[in-house]
Amino acid sequence: MPQILIRGKDMQKRRVRRHEVIQPLDQSIKLIPLTKGQNAIVDATDYDWLTQWNWSVLASASGFYAVRHEQGRAILMHRELTCNEGKSTDHKNRNTLDNRKSNLRPCDQSFNQANRTKESINTSGYKGVKKHRDRWQAMIWRKGVCLYLGTFVSKDEAARAYDKAAIELFGEFAHLNFKNLSQKN
């Protein structure tokens, strides 16, 4: 089992064991072992460059991220690959450990949030929809501002209103409630 040296808070070296990884048959991608039994997926062309550092996993509300630490600063693998200092990088397929360049796209925070799934505390079952008295309210966030889309009799109607606004505001970044909704509607 590979052993990798990392520095802890006290700056003393300590050994962290990584699990063994069997590389995929697809020669265009490679897996980089992280802590907590997780793997980052990267393009084979980036593998040698990325493995010069020790990567670990960072757990967040939106998933796991590959991260390394340098001079007390956390560096996220997906931002390192897109050279996107100070901006957001979106994972198209919402797998936050899939760091292939074809899955990454630079964006602002608002577009990144548009590609998220519904929150875990969601009670309607639809993104951007919540119960308001005996009706359903649709809303969408853009650049830190909540846009009210209306109140509807059914939650399906409210979800369709959200989807329509998401397509208009975010285009390809929009994570829709109804996958078959045409982007032309």
Same domain, 142 and 60: no
- 18 belongs to a structural domain: yes
Q: How far apart (Å, rounded) are the C-alpha atoms in residues 105 and 72?
A: 27
Per-residue pLDDT band for 1 (boundaries 50, 70, 90) equals very low
Q: Which residues contact 123 (CB under 8 A, 6 or more apart)?
A: 130, 131
Structural contact between residues 167 and 176, judged by C-beta atoms closer than 8 angstroms? yes
- Summarize the confidence of residues 174-185 as an average pLDDT: 67
Please say if the pLDDT value at position 100 is more than 90: yes
pLDDT of the residue at 144: 78
pLDDT in tens, 65-77: 999 998 889 899 9
pLDDT in tens, 110-135: 666 666 666 666 778 898 898 989 99
Please say if the pLDDT value at position 182 is more than 60: no
Domain end (from 83, 107, 131): 107
Mean pLDDT of the chain: 82
- Going along 12-113, which residue ranges are E strands? 13-17, 29-33, 39-43, 56-60, 63-70, 73-76, 88-91, 104-107
Both tokens of 141, joined, read 């966030």
pLDDT of the residue at 125: 86
Q: Amino acid identity of 153? A: V
Domain membership of residue 156 as a residue range: 117-173
Please say if the pLDDT value at position 183 is more than 90: no
pLDDT of the residue at 136: 93
Same domain, 57 and 39: yes
- Tokens 């962290």, residue located: 16
Domain end (from 107, 133, 159): 107
Per-residue pLDDT band for 181 (boundaries 50, 70, 90) equals low
- Using a CB cutoff of 8 Å and minimum separation of 24, what contacts does 53-62 make? 54/4, 54/5, 54/6, 54/16, 56/6, 56/16, 57/97, 62/96, 62/116
Cα–Cα nearest to 38, from 51, 53, 19, 15: 19
DSSP assignment string, 155-171? HHHHHHHHHHHHHHHHG
Total number of domains in the chain? 2
Domain end (from 56, 72, 107): 107
pLDDT of the residue at 120: 65
Here the CATH number for the domain that contains residue 122 is: 3.30.730.10
